[in-house]
Structure 1
Amino acid sequence: MGLKSQARKKAIHLMLVYTGGCNGCDIEIVNTVLSPKFDIEQYNVYLTWNPREADVLVVSGPVTYWTKEPLLKIYEAIPKPKLVVAVGACALTGGVYKNIHGEIPSEEIEGPVDNVIPVDAKIPGCAVRPEDVVAGVVSVIPILLGKEDK
């Protein structure tokens, strides 16, 4: 068993990336990590701001024209195996940023996260509930631990 696999059994590092929207989901994600009620740090799940340390990329908001390239660079910097969790209606469908016909205006919004990078888990809501964030992150941990180091 590799060093990375052993370390992942001790702690999981999440990197939160905001790609547009109202920040409602970001507040709930940070609430999940830092508040005493949910406090997922007690289970050794931590936020990191360094993509080279991240095990799971948590993306909130629709991907805008201006955030597409930075998101791709962050995704590429995350070591393999890399997992992505899309959080909130905007990240899943474009949310309220779609036009009245249900289409996403391509000049401003690239669309949902899975239009840009692969997504392993989707957490619906507007804004998401902290309980759902915990469940979504927990759902990808077995996938992360089951993949081989590459």
Structure 2
Amino acid sequence: MEFSPDTPWQKVLDSVRRWARINSPWAIHYNSGSCNGCDIEILATLTPRYDLERFGVKLQGSPRHADILICTGPVTRQSRERLLRIYEQMPDPKFVVAVGSCGLSGGAFRGCYNIVGDISEVVPVDVFIPGCPPRPEAIIFGVVKLLESLKKGKAEVAAFSEGVHA
């Protein structure tokens, strides 16, 4: 980031915001109807053993301050509007990570009377992390792939199907 004295202040400010967002993204977690297996694995990524915060990712409680929405479970009729509201409250640019088989395809809950569908049917998903539940290493791998693509300047991340085995 090199700027001359003639550079407009708005461009400098935008550049600093982009740098901060890439190097220290804030994430919010939302369970849209899962069995809590994926939620436990997400919490495990924040423990000292896996330490997701070493990549600058901080779990945030408010969608108004979050850059990344980490979503688990199939979308239920009751959680659909809430998920949309959370997504709409996030500032642009915003990214969505779908965690677990239920978030990708409905998993074991697919076809149930109260299931609307998977997460990508309600909000656009940038990264899919497969598994039932996915291991903490796989979740970290997916988040790191998202961060790498942001550093390269790509707005979208393709879904990955590489497994992380430990």
Q: Same fold (TM over 0.5)?
A: yes
| SS at structure 2 position matched to 1:128 | coil
Report the counterpart of residue 8 of structure 1 in structure 2: 21
C-alpha distance after superposition, 1:64-121 (max 9, x if no partner): 00000000000001111111000000000101112xxxxx24x400110001010011
Task: Verify the 8 A CA contact 1:92 1:124 in the aligned structure 2.
Answer: yes
**C-alpha separation between the residues in 2 aligned to 1:136 and 1:128?**
11
Q: Does 1:137 align with 2:143?
A: yes
- Over aligned residue pairs, what C-alpha RMSD do you find? 1.5
Higher relative contact order (CA 8 A, sep 6+): 1
Q: State how far apart, in whole Å, the 1-side matches of 2:22 and 2:127 are.
A: 20
2:88 and 2:150 mapped to 1: Cα distance?
Answer: 17
Verify: 1:25 aligned to 2:38, yes or no. Answer: yes
Which residue of 118, 121, 126 maps to 1:120? 126
Size of the alignment, in residue pairs?
Answer: 141
Runs of 4+ displaced beyond 4 Å: none
Of structures 1 and 2, the larger Rg is shown by 2
How far did residue 21 of structure 1 move? 1.6
Paired residues of 2:22 and 2:147 also in contact (CA < 8 A) = no
Tell me which of 114, 128, 149 is aligned to 1:108: 114
Per the alignment, residue 83 of structure 1 pairs with 95
2:149, 2:55 → 1: CA distance?
17
TM-score (norm 1): 0.88
* DSSP 3-state at the match of 1:110: strand
Q: Is 1:93–2:105 an aligned residue pair?
A: yes
Q: Match for 1:122: what amino acid?
A: F
Identity between Structure 1 and Structure 2 (%): 45
8 Å Cα contact 2:22-2:150 kept in structure 1: no
Q: Does 1:44 align with 2:56?
A: yes
Structure 1 unaligned regions, length at least 5: 99-103
